[in-house]
Structure formats: structure tokens, C-alpha cells
Chains A and B, each alone.
Chain A
């Protein structure tokens, strides 16, 4: 990563000003030119250093359902169950974690009441209970990785 790319990665995680020419505005702030900013973002996306550049939606405000859920799966059965769980379009992220509850996934559904239905379907397909852990309160969220 070049020094310019590092500066841009740090700045662009914080949010673009919502003005008519936002890339030019960021360029001016950082003493770069607009084309440099656009080209760097394209390159970082192509290389996979950035996974996305765009609006970050607050799923809870969109009328859909969102929750974190966990399962406790014995090791010999883990891969089979992971494949069954991942088949659901509603499963957005799924992580294996080092704990007795070893599978953790985020469910995102178009409507709020679809969460319970999806959990019931996962329990039925896999034969294991799902522990639903919806957020009850959100404290500050700031996804920022300085480089």
C-alpha cells in the first residue's frame, strides 16, 4: 500500500461529505486531486483491500429483521451443519468461534417477523437449537481500522 492509499483508507472509513462532488471534496482536504482519489478507490476495490465503498445502511431502520444467533455443534458434525445453515439466504455472515457455542451467524430478513420463522427452519433442518441474541440496546458503533 502506498502512503497515499493509506491516507485514503483512513479518511474514507470516516464517511464522505454529502456534497455535489464528494470525491473532489475529499481530494481537496487531503491535498490530492480528484482523479487520484477515484483511481485509488477503484484499485483498492479491485485488489480486495476494500470490500465495498458506498452507503452503510442501518438495517434496523429499514423495516427488516436483524439478529445474531449462536449454535453449539459437536465437532464431527460441524461442517455438515455449517453447510445447512449457509444455504439460507437470510444468513449474512457466519463465523466459527472458539467456544462451546461455536457457530455464530447474523440473520437479516426483509421483515421483522421472518426472524423467528427462519430460526425455526434452521432448527428443523439441522436438528440443533438456535440461541437467538437480538440486540436489546446499541452503544456506539464505529468501524475504523487505522493503517
Chain B
């Protein structure tokens, strides 16, 4: 469930698709990137900019931003913390966990009993394992007696990382 104002799928136009394809590798690094995109797509810079603003307003674009390689910034420990939270408390507790500044992603996902009893996922990064554990203990305190059990799944290898791509 997204909190953004939803743009219906039908209103993602062919133009939007072209804009997404033209920028999925990145925004042009020139003074007026909208004019540069406009040249590629035969549109005015004002049109391109207005469409970007509309897409961001609708939540199709979260933001136009830098994505760092978190390993290169020293965040070597990537802990997927997972929690078994009472279903009737998950909306308010998930919202509270998502508001913690060090939680980068937070989702409710289905259980798969008996192998998987966790329904709340919160991604936590740290420069040390202790830093991740300290952050997890803050989540633990917040969840209180609504949480039966939890664990932290550290990543031990990146097997593939290509990001999301639309095909042409």
C-alpha cells in the first residue's frame, strides 16, 4: 500500500514511458537537463519539466537523487531485520518502525509457516555488525510485547545487482 497519491496506470502515457527509458540510466549532467531530454524526445524543456513534476507528485518518481554504493561509503553490514509481529498491531507498529531514521526500507510481507514466521521486514545498514545490532535492539524495544521473535539476516554475498530496468 503506497502512501502517495496514486496515478492510475492508464495515465502513464507513452510519453512517460519514453521519459523513463531516457533517464533510467541517469539524468543528463548538464545545466538544463530538461532541455537536453527535450532535444532527444522532440519536446520543449518546459514540457519535460512539467511531466517530471507531475510524475513526482503522483509518486511514480520518488525523487531525482543520487544512489550511493553503500559499501563505498563504509556501510559494509547490510542487515535484513525480520520480526514476527501480531497482525492486529502491524499497521501502527510498522509505521513507527518505518519512521526510525536508520531504517531504509520497511514492509509487511506474508508468512510462510513453518519455515518463515516473520511478517515485518526492516532493512538496516551499519559500518559494523554491532551498529546493526544496536539499531535492531531499538526496533525490538519499540515493538515490545507485540513481537514474538525476530532475527537478522546479514548478506554474505551479492550474487547479482542490476537494478530495475524497463525493456524497450
A interface residues (Cβ-Cβ under 8 A, vs B) = 8-9, 12-16, 18-24, 34, 38, 41-42, 44-45, 48-64, 66, 68, 70, 72, 82, 85-86, 89, 91-101, 103-105, 108, 110, 131-145, 147
Question: A16-B64, A53-B65 given. 11 additional CB < 8 A pairs?
Answer: A13-B65, A21-B32, A34-B31, A51-B69, A54-B25, A60-B2, A61-B58, A63-B9, A93-B162, A96-B159, A138-B1
Point out the residues of chain B lying under 8 angstroms from A62, CB to CB: 12, 20, 60, 166
Tell me what chain B mostly uses at the interface: helix, strand, loop, or mixed.
Answer: mixed
Q: How would residues 103 to 121 of chain B score, 1 for a CB under 8 Å from any chain A CB and 0 otherwise?
A: 1111111101001100001
Point out the residues of chain A lying under 8 angstroms from B55, CB to CB: 55
Point out the residues of chain A lying under 8 angstroms from B72, CB to CB: 48-49
Residue of A nearest to B157 (CB): A96
The answer to whether B1 and A48 have CB atoms under 8 Å apart is no
Interface size class on chain B is 35 or more
Q: How would residues 156 to 168 of chain B score, 1 for a CB under 8 Å from any chain A CB and 0 otherwise?
A: 1111111111110
Point out the residues of chain A lying under 8 angstroms from B58, CB to CB: 61
Once A98-B154, A100-B115 are accepted as A-B contacts, the answer to whether A18 and B56 lie under 8 Å apart by CB is yes
Residue of A nearest to B20 (CB): A57
21 of the cross-chain contacts (CB-CB < 8 Å) are A15-B65, A22-B33, A49-B72, A51-B68, A52-B66, A55-B23, A55-B63, A58-B60, A62-B60, A92-B165, A95-B159, A98-B156, A99-B151, A100-B115, A103-B159, A133-B109, A138-B3, A139-B97, A139-B106, A140-B103, A145-B75
The answer to whether B7 and A61 have CB atoms under 8 Å apart is yes
Q: What is the CA–CA distance of A28 and B29 in the complex, to the nearest angstrom?
A: 17
B interface residues (Cβ-Cβ under 8 A, vs A) = 1-4, 6-7, 9, 12, 20, 23-27, 29-34, 45, 49, 52-53, 55-56, 58-70, 72-75, 78, 80, 90-91, 94-95, 97-99, 101, 103-110, 112, 115-116, 121, 125, 151, 153-167
The answer to whether B115 and A131 have CB atoms under 8 Å apart is yes
Q: What is the CA–CA distance of A98 and B20 in the complex, to the nearest angstrom?
A: 36
The answer to whether A9 and B160 have CB atoms under 8 Å apart is no
The answer to whether A56 and B61 have CB atoms under 8 Å apart is yes
